[in-house]
Structure 1
Amino acid sequence: MRAEIRATLALALPLIIGNFAQAAINTTDVLILGRYDVDALAASALGVNLFFAFAVFAMGLVMAASPLIAAERGRKPHSVRDVRRTVRQACWASLAVCLPVWATLWNTEWVMLLFGQDPALSVAAAGYVRVMMWGLFPFLIFCVLRHYVSALERPIWGVIVTVIGVGFNALADWILVFGLFGFPELGLTGAAIASLVANFVLMFGMILVVIMVPSFRRYRLLGRFWQSDWPRFFGILGLGLPIAVTLALEVTVFNAAVFLMGLIDRDSLAAHAIAIQVASLAFMIPLGLSQAATVRVGIWHGRQDRAGVARAGSVALWLGCGAALLLSAGMVAFPNELVGLFVDRAEPESAPVFRLAVSFLIIAALFQLVDGAQAVGAGVLRGLQDTRVPMLFAAIGYWVVGLGLAVWLGFPGGLAGLGIWIGLAAGLAAAAVLMVSRWFMRERIGLVRYE
């Protein structure tokens, strides 16, 4: 058990750092636009949430590479060809999913108006997305290669590249939004350009890593990149689509909350953008543990080792719940300080946003406890390549319980934004119970069938 704890932490810690750095790209946009203009912040909240919904779906699709590579390494520790083919077809899947996503994002203004958003904010959000959306494909290639180095249990290279990308994005954001060093002041458009270019930096950085680092170079990932492997391609789609839908269901329920906030008022929308950024950053810790759990459980699953599977899953769940408890305590103890990073409470225009964001953050601290459990629960199930039933659990928890309560408490219940956040917390709790229960029943229901 101690060896498994060490192995999980050794894999999870770089993944957590990388997740923080990756999330910092959008957080940087919110921080800088919050200092620039409240209307720009609100428009970016609409645009980012729509873009991120599709990006997360696409990320889930290529995430199938991680358990597949881990299982291949479990079966044959020195496998090269199978790993290379999995990575190659995951890159093909990245391009395939981008085409319909780009077509949808090009019509962002129409989508926003369909959901009853403010026309002026809808126009601004559409302009933001039409620039940023072209960074989706390079971002997905970066994700595939990051899953590849993580499944080989060398995630530090993904961290290094991500930190470089974040630094570039922060500098470009500051320069282009405010118009420094001779550049024009582009405001919201500047933030979109910075994110777009940062995604290309991430992609080319990971390509250099897999070409130049000896432990990765021997796989020759870019060799005969045009060669098809349709059974493996459709295998990735079969495993990845339920993951994609699961992640999309979680993200889109938060996106739906953004649209609901937009129906209340501008201050609620801006406050939600701040609170969700804090909660999202905190979520990077259980997310990293979930990603590590997928690899560790996947390796033992490939070896058909029942005891190893049980150890890896138990360690990940305990670590995830412990981390969530500490994060919740931090949010409860320092809500004013956390919200103060985004807006100045002393400014009259920002004071209502500050108060609302603090109240939302208290509820976010409560659902952080269950969010960690459901994230790691989904991760250990992915290690067993079990993705379809968890997708149904996500639909029930996030949309039936979560969104249903959010709408009822927020509008007929009269709690407005606070009711929406309470509903989100309830949905995450339902998903957590379902995911973790399935893990503990894994042998009884036939997920583990080893001799």
Structure 2
Amino acid sequence: MSSLMTHTGHARAILVLGLPLIGGHLAQFAIGLTDTVMLGWYGVDALAGITLAHSYFFVFFMLGSGFAMAVMPLVAHGLALGDDRAVRRSTRMGLWLSVLYALIIMPLMWWSAPILGLLGQVESVADDAARYLRVAGLGLIPALLVMVLKSYLAAQERTQVVLWITVLAAITNALANYALIFGNWGAPELGLQGAAIASVCTQTVALVAVVIYVLRVLPEHDLFRRLWRPEPEMMARVFRLGVPIGLTTVAEISLFAMSAIMMGWLGTVPLAAHGIVITIASGTFMIHMGLGNVATIRAGNALGRGDRAHLARGAAMVSLLSLAFAALTSVAFITVPEPLISVFMDGDDPQRGAILAIGTTLLALAALFQLVDGAQAVALGLLRGVQDTTVPMFVAVVAYWAIGIPACYVLGFVLGWGGVGVWLGLVAGLACAGVFLMLRFWRRNVVRPVAVAA
């Protein structure tokens, strides 16, 4: 009975901490969803452009977000030890590294058109994507800073404020998109560029909101005092932890980005269908990402206390919850695909039937990778919580780049299976990552526990 209560307690604690984080991720996802839906209403060409632009932007954003993700376990570990100085220093250096990274990456946003052209994209789609990225790239700095401060707050289990700040950003984005894409409320009709301007405004609003909250509610950490002073030792620690996290994340994101590029080789309609289905699947993935964040926070706290039994029970419960959510969303993908896809299109669009036909098949394949995608997200969260990031990086690179991307190409083009083959390649890469990352966590931390330096 006590064991049952222990696991029930873990489930309750995970949901109390995790539901606001999941809500925050869904609100963040709503920002990209709003772009996709409104530009889908604007036209199929604009939808193809935003699909390509989002894939490109997201690769660089998620690479840079490794520093923000590194802040979460470091803050959780510092709090478990009662070390407020470590909390402050790790967050500050996360902010430093995020800004430096964004400045280095900015030229790749401005000159994205020739890069996308070299990747074999249709010239008109690449030009549309570049027009979006020249403006949206300016939002990389505030977006990454918001990520760092959200990690700092989430590690303190202040997940409600993370949720509400993200909801504010999503509402701002929807209103700005409605005005600037279509030219409503007296604003100019700017299409893709309007969506880009809305994105920058949204990220700036979110940054202002989270900074105000930190200053007013958490003055004891004195987070921004002498912010200009570097702390080389802590910067190196955040860098060593953050770079593998960023590379691990970008390995997965680049698998999806390459799948979008390959779908672009098949034409505008397959790329538009791919963009819709990826958006739907990304929405359900936010649940697993939120659970992965919970896994990082709770594993970091357990590590700080040296409580391996708590670590193992919590890991088992968060994995079971992820599995249950994946099963539910997979059923929805298979049983009601047409209503889900139709949300993203104008009912009178002449290409609607072709997009629906392709999208329904792709959504059935998306149901296949829900289980393994959730498993790898939770496994990565657990491994980050115990500050194990380097080996998982190599596992991810092999699973996504050595297995997933080649499988997409071979199945899609060598064997001639088209979009179905590309998506089966996605399933192969995600399955390999999910299996090997879970094995890494359980063998290293439960079967044969390994000590981690503080």
Query: Is TM more than 0.5 here?
Result: yes
Separation in 1 of the partners of 2:435 and 2:401?
15
Query: Residues of 2 paired with 1:98 and 1:206: CA distance?
Result: 19
Look up the equivalent residue of 1:145 and give its one-letter code. L
Shift of 1:445: 5.3
Instruction: Say which of 440, 447, 450 aligns to 1:447.
Output: 450
Percent identity, aligned pairs only, is 39
For residues 193-208 of structure 1, the aligned pairs below 5 Å read 193-208=197-212
- Read off the aligned partner of 2:179 and give its amino acid letter: I
Instruction: Output one character per residue of 1:185-205: Cα deviation in whole Å (capped at 9) or x when no partner.
Output: 111110110011100011111
* Counterpart-to-counterpart distance in 2, 1:144 and 1:428: 27
Residue 4 of structure 1: how far off its partner (Å): 2.2
TM-score, length basis structure 2: 0.96
Deviation at 1:303, TM superposition (A): 0.9
CA displacement at 1:307 relative to structure 2? 1.1
Pairing of 1:148-159 with structure 2 (within 5 A): 148-159=152-163
Q: Which deviates more, 166-175 or 307-316?
A: 307-316
2:36 corresponds to: 30
Q: CA RMSD in A?
A: 1.3
Partner of 1:431: 433
Instruction: Judge conservation of contact 1:344–1:351 (CA < 8 Å) in 2.
Output: no
Shift of 1:447: 3.0
Which string of whole-angstrom CA distances, capped at 9 and with x for unpartnered residues, describes residues 375-407 of structure 1?
Answer: 101110111100011111111211222112111
**Which residue in the other structure is 1:170 paired with?**
174
Q: Deviations over 1:196-225 (max 9, x none)?
A: 110001111100111122xx2221111111
TM-fit CA distance, 1:285: 0.3
Partner of 1:235: 237
Q: Which runs of at least 4 in structure 1 moved beyond 6 Å after TM superposition?
A: none
Match of 1:95 in 2: 99
Q: Deviations over 1:282-316 (max 9, x none)?
A: 10001100000000010010111111211221121
Say whether residues 1:393 and 2:395 are aligned partners. yes
Tell me, in whole angstroms, the C-alpha distance in 1 between the residues paired with 2:28 and 2:450. Answer: 33
Corresponding pairs, count: 446
For 2:59, give the aligned amino acid: A
Instruction: Return the alpha-carbon distance in structure 2 between the equivalents of residues 119 and 340 of structure 1.
Output: 27
2:387–2:452 CA contact under 8 A, matched in 1? no
| Amino acid in structure 2 at the alignment position of 1:59 | S
Partner of 1:225: 227
Evaluate the alpha carbon distance shift between residue 152 and residue 449 of structure 1 in structure 2; reply closer, same or farther with a 3 A threshold.
closer
Cα deviation per residue 1:266-292 (whole Å; 9 max; x = unaligned)?
111101100000000010001100000
Instruction: Give the 3 Å change call, closer, same or farther, for CA 391–184 of structure 1 in structure 2.
Output: same
Q: Secondary structure at the match of 1:225?
A: coil
The CA deviation at 1:350 is 2.0
In structure 2, the gaps of 5 or more residues are: 1-5
In 1, are the aligned partners of 2:386 and 2:452 still within 8 Å (CA)?
Answer: no
- Superposition deviation, residue 71 in structure 1: 0.9
Q: Do the aligned partners of residues 11 and 288 (structure 1) sit closer, same or farther apart at CA in structure 2, a change above 3 Å counting?
A: same
Task: Name the counterpart of 1:298.
Answer: 300
Q: 1:449 to 1:159 in 2, by over 3 A?
A: closer
1:85 to 83, 89, 98: 89
TM-score relative to the length of structure 1 = 0.97
**Counterpart for residue 314 of structure 1:** 316
Structure 1, unaligned runs of 5 or more: none
Deviation at residue 127 of structure 1 after TM alignment = 1.0
1:16 equivalent among 16, 22, 25: 22
